[in-house]
Amino acid sequence: MNTVTLTLDEIHTLARAALLKAGSNEEMANCVADTVTRAERDGSHSHGLFRIPGYVASLVSGKVNGNANPKVEHITPVMIRCDADNAYAPLAHARCLDQLAEAAKTYGIAMAQITRSHHFAALWPETETLAEKGLVAFTCVNYMPMVAPYGAKEKVYGTNPISFAWPREGSTPVVFDMATSAMAMGDIQVAARDGKTLPSGVGLNEAGEPTTDPKDIDPNTGGGMILPFGGYKGSHISMMVELLAGPLMGQTVSFETEKTDNNDGGPPAGGQFILAMSPEITSGTADWGTGADSLFDKLKSFDGVRLPGERRHKNRQDTGPRSINAELVKTVSDLG
């Protein structure tokens, strides 16, 4: 694979230029470019510049509102609703996360309901932002049908990622962000681009047969489907995400979302569920971190155990240039 090196500022400029040319306003282009740059900084390549062509496609097709102006309202003191106005999710987050954090710090727990949003990025930026404000956070989104429920050979669920973050005094938060499918769709697409095979158990081809070829698994290129992680356990967690991010938010589940999507390659419209909790209020003590730290210390005492998020936080200490797929850089440059 041929690569080129770009500074973090160059990555941000490249992403921003492509979004602006495709019709995004300044605020949304900056929010998305920031999310993309953070992903490349932290080594989450499948959610970095790799996503820009999909972002651009949905702007050009008109599915995403390039001049979106998300509105935030308090339905109750602890329930915030953000109508994203068909914006990309990072713009909605910029409008509502501070208000969500304030509500959680006041009342102990608060929820954000994001509707008519197009989520195409990693989930950890949202939960990590809340954890850096001293809050425990959880979020999830559904997507387009790409995953077969346990025992089935038909796409019903999205990859349906979840993210959880725990704040730590004087240290980086513990954060995980994971698809409830055996592998994230972006990682499958990157493997296909780079000519790699996948481990067994990741997915099925169009005929419902097991395969390790990412091009056959990808519903967009081969008509296949991904399997849930952990068999029926992952399948049930994926169902939970469908319900939390769909009907609970007044939005559709993945296989219903597909019926109204224009298939331009960009993210569909949907909902996002975000929960924020104040550990100081819920535990009733200012010493709430002690028990958690003892668990983290125990885990780190084992050889081979790494706390969730540690690798990303280590990667971001390097502020130097990043190696990016050369063909991808050319594609994004042409878009801009």
Please give the chain's pLDDT, 336 residues, in tens.
799 999 999 999 999 999 999 999 999 999 999 999 999 999 999 999 999 999 999 999 999 999 999 999 999 999 999 999 999 999 999 999 999 999 999 999 999 999 999 999 999 999 999 999 999 999 999 999 999 999 999 999 999 999 999 999 989 999 999 999 999 888 998 899 889 999 999 999 999 999 999 999 998 888 999 999 999 999 999 999 999 999 999 999 999 999 999 999 899 999 999 999 999 999 999 999 999 999 999 999 999 999 999 999 999 999 999 999 999 999 999 999
Q: Which of 46, 98, 213, 261 is catalytic?
A: 46
Round to whole Å and give the CA distance between 161 and 32. Answer: 19
Give the active site residue among 12, 45, 47, 119: 47
Which phi and psi (to 5°) does residue 139 adopt? -150, 160
Give the sign of the dihedral formed by CA 124, CA 129, CA 131, CA 136: negative
* 115 neighbors 89 (Cβ within 8 angstroms): no
**Domains within the chain, CATH numbers bracketed:** 3-181+228-282+313-335 (3.30.1370.60)
How many Cα neighbours within 13 Å face the side chain of 293? 10
User: How many C-beta atoms surround the C-beta of residue 224 within 10 A?
Assistant: 26
Comparing C-alpha atoms, which of 292, 293, 271, 275 is closest to residue 107?
275
Catalytic choice (187, 216, 218, 278): 187
User: Cα 241 vs. chain centroid, distance in angstroms?
Assistant: 13
Task: Scan for tokens 């356990």, then name that residue.
Answer: 233
pLDDT value of position 16: 98
Integer Cα distance of 8 and 194 in angstroms: 23
Is residue 187 flagged as an active site residue? yes
pLDDT at 220: 82
Query: What number of other Cβ atoms are within 10 A of residue 215's Cβ?
Result: 17
- Which two tokens mark 128? 């990590």
**SS3 of 330, please?**
helix
> In this predicted structure, what is the pLDDT of residue 34?
98
Residue 186's pLDDT is 85
Cα 63 to Cα 66, 136, 262, 263, distances in angstroms: 9, 33, 8, 10
Nearest by Cα to 120 from 265, 320, 217: 265
The model's pTM is 0.94
Measured CA to CA, the distance from residue 39 to residue 90 in angstroms comes to 13
Strands 322-325 and 3-6: antiparallel
**The predicted structure's pLDDT at residue 265:** 87
Ordered strands of the 203-204 beta sheet: 210-211, 203-204, 225-226
What integer pLDDT is reported at residue 1 of this predicted model? 73
Q: For strand 79-88 and strand 210-211, is the pairing parallel, antiparallel, or unpaired? A: unpaired
Establish whether 194 is a catalytic residue: no
Alpha carbon separation from 56 to 25, 193, 194, 226 (Å, rounded): 13, 19, 22, 25
